[in-house]
Amino acid sequence: MVELNEYQRELCTQSTWDFSDLKALFINCTLKKSPELSHTQGLIDISTAIMDLNGVTTETIRAVDFDIAPGVWPDMTEHGFEIDAWPALFEKVAAADILVLGSSIWLGEKTSVCTKVIERLYGNSGQLNEHGQYAYYGKVG
């Protein structure tokens, strides 16, 4: 776990809000597979430490470690791909209240991995939840 600086810890301990019912999912869109050092992961670690200290349940996944098929459908195995890890990952997205995409910047742009994740998120955007609301209703990204 990353060590927060004094100012960050002070801000967290002064908070009177209760965030213990919130879940945050961080998707690291670095181009580097685990366990290679990722500067993007370093930034995510600071954010998750702050959220953890405030009672938010956090989880981080590194997108490049999964075989996510390209495309804009919820399950690309129904569109010619043999393998697609996205449907299982989307279950984590659906269960989260907060979604954070972390990406390094190459030539002023997000990574191709981040673009793929955004395309896949779009593919699920038309789905409805158990209340008949769109998949991302009430979520923060």
- Return per-residue pLDDT of the chain as tens, 141 residues: 789 999 999 999 998 999 999 999 999 999 999 999 999 999 999 999 999 999 999 999 999 999 999 999 999 999 999 999 999 999 999 999 999 999 999 889 999 999 999 999 999 999 998 899 999 999 998
Tokens 């890890």, residue located: 85
Q: What DSSP letter does each residue of 64-99 carry, written as one string?
A: GGS-PPPSSSS-GGGGT-S---HHHHHHHHHH-SEE
Token pair of 45 as six digits: 């670690």
Q: From start to end of the chain, where are the E strands?
A: 23-28, 57-62, 98-102, 105-106, 109-110
CATH of residue 97's domain is: 3.40.50.360
Structure tokens at 94: 């659906």
Residues composing the chain: 141
Whether residue 5 is contained in a domain is answered as no
Name the domain count of the chain: 1
Output the CA–CA distances (angstroms, integers) from residue 117 to 24, 58, 70, 111, in the order listed.
16, 19, 9, 10
Is 7 within the bounds of a domain?
no
Cβ neighbours around 137 below 10 Å, total: 10
Q: Give me the domain span that covers residue 37.
A: 19-124
Angle between helices 39-53 and 6-14 (to 10 degrees): 30
Question: Sign of the CA dihedral 98, 76, 67, 109?
Answer: negative
Instruction: Decide if 45 is inside a domain.
Output: yes
What integer pLDDT is reported at residue 2 of this predicted model? Answer: 87
Helix (H/G/I), strand (E/B), else coil: 138: coil
